[in-house]
């Protein structure tokens, strides 16, 4: 890895982060533009998510013969965080493509648009999180969330955000070069949704395959933020695996970003 290019990549990331007011403004503008002139604005996303949660929660609770009060919270927490994961990854491959007019007209750090992608989806996540306390208040009164649980959930969310940044950088660079990635990723994420315990519980699967399902990175990161909300413990191994994924992902993303950062503008 060229030391000079590596320093420029680090500077790009640093300057992009310092311009937080810019990427936050861009992310909120993108959300508002999508729902311009509508009555509820960006809260249409929250309303749509809430309708899906209640529809799935009620129907599947009868199918699985589970108490709707506890299962509804399981579905809600799974869907809210999965939607954020899914959206960050799906949008990552096109972050530089959709920002072409910015990159060709204004001298902005390229990492700015990785931060835009993550911050936009975290803002939407913040809106959707409103659903959870409502469900807890009216449908799951026996669930008690401790301060330690809240702290664990925020720590898991922090790891989640860091991973969102390196994923955005990595897939953004690859997606700028290979446009087919925009079609490949949504298909892969659909398959991953089916094999990840977002709506179904891992206890329903045969014991001989549970271990493999528990090693699913998406399930691990989902557990870090969801388990404290459900009042469940987080296996210590999950923190170790998630931290390892974060470190390895950052290294790979930095290697790719360092090598191809200057070529992004020519691929657009």
What would the pLDDT profile of 25-58 be if each residue is shown by its tens digit?
A: 887 777 777 666 555 556 677 788 888 888 887 8
The pTM for the full model equals 0.88
In this structure, the dihedral spanned by the alpha carbons of residues 162, 1, 173 and 31, taken in order and rounded to 10 degrees, is 30
Distance, in Å, from the CA atom of 135 to the CA atom of 162, rounded to the nearest integer, reads 28
Judged by phi (left if over 0) then psi (alpha if -120 to 50, else beta), residue 107 lies in: beta
Q: Which residues of 195-206 are buried (b: 16+ CB within 10 A; e: fewer)?
A: ebbbbbeeeeee
What would the pLDDT profile of 187-213 be if each residue is shown by its tens digit?
A: 999 999 988 888 888 877 777 787 888
Contacts of 7 (CB under 8 A, 6+ apart): none
Distance, in Å, from the CA atom of 35 to the CA atom of 186, rounded to the nearest integer, reads 23
What would the pLDDT profile of 155-187 be if each residue is shown by its tens digit?
A: 989 999 999 999 999 999 999 989 889 999 999
């Amino acid at each position: 890895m060229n030391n000079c290019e590596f320093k420029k990549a680090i500077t790009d990331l640093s300057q992009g982060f310092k311009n937080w007011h810019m990427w936050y403004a861009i992310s909120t503008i993108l959300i508002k533009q999508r729902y311009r002139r509508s009555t509820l604005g960006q809260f249409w996303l929250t309303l749509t998510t809430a309708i899906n949660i209640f529809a799935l929660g009620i129907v599947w609770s009868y199918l699985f013969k589970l108490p709707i009060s506890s299962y509804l919270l399981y579905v809600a927490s799974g869907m809210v965080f999965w939607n954020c994961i899914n959206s960050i990854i799906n949008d990552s491959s096109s972050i530089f493509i959709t920002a072409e007019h910015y990159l060709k007209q204004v001298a902005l750090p390229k990492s700015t648009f990785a931060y835009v992608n993550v911050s936009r989806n975290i803002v939407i996540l913040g809106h959707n999180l409103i659903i959870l306390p409502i469900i807890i208040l009216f449908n799951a009164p026996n669930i008690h969330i401790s301060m330690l649980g809240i702290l664990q959930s925020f720590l898991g969310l922090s790891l989640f955000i860091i991973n969102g940044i390196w994923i955005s950088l990595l897939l953004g660079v690859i997606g700028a070069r290979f446009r087919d990635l925009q079609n490949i990723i949504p298909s892969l994420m659909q398959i991953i949704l089916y094999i990840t315990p977002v709506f179904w519980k891992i206890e329903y699967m045969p014991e001989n395959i549970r271990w493999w399902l528990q090693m699913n990175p998406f399930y691990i990161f989902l557990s870090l933020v969801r388990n404290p909300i459900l009042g469940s413990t987080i296996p210590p191994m999950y923190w170790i695996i998630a931290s390892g994924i974060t470190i390895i992902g950052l290294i790979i993303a930095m290697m790719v970003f360092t090598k191809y950062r200057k070529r992004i503008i020519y691929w657009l």
